[in-house]
Amino acid sequence: MPRRIWLAALCFWPGLPQIWMGREVLGLGLAVGFAVSLNLALVGSFIWTESVQGVMLQGMWGLSGAIWMAAAVGTAWWLGMRHPARFAQQIDLLYREGLQEYIQGRWQEARERFERIVQTDSTDADALMQLGMIFTHTGQPVQARRAFRQCLELDREHKWRWEIRHELARLGDG
pLDDT tens-place string over residues 34-45? 999 999 999 999
* CA 61/CA 105 separation, integer angstroms: 59
Residue 87: pLDDT above 90?
Answer: no
In terms of domains, do 140 and 67 share one?
A: no
Give the pLDDT confidence score for residue 74 in this predicted structure.
83
Give the pLDDT confidence score for residue 6 in this predicted structure.
67
Nearest-CA neighbor of 160 among 130, 120, 122, 118? 130
CB atoms within 10 A of CB 16: 19
User: What is the CATH classification number for the domain harbouring 107?
Assistant: 1.25.40.10
In terms of domains, do 76 and 100 share one?
A: no
Instruction: Say if CB 19 and CB 27 are below 8 A apart.
Output: yes
pLDDT tens-digit profile of 146-161? 999 999 888 778 888 8
Nearest-CA neighbor of 27 among 82, 77, 62, 71? 71
Give the pLDDT confidence score for residue 2 in this predicted structure.
65
In terms of domains, do 69 and 100 share one?
A: no
3-state secondary structure of 22: coil
Question: Domain range spanning residue 91?
Answer: 86-170
How many independent structural domains does the chain possess? 2
Query: CA angle at residue 30 from 156 to 23, to 5 degrees?
Result: 30
In terms of domains, do 111 and 73 share one?
A: no
pLDDT tens-digit profile of 96-113? 999 999 999 999 999 999
pTM of this prediction exceeds 0.85? no
Residue 9: pLDDT above 80?
Answer: no
Give the pLDDT confidence score for residue 29 in this predicted structure.
92
- Round the average pLDDT of the chain to a whole number and report it: 87
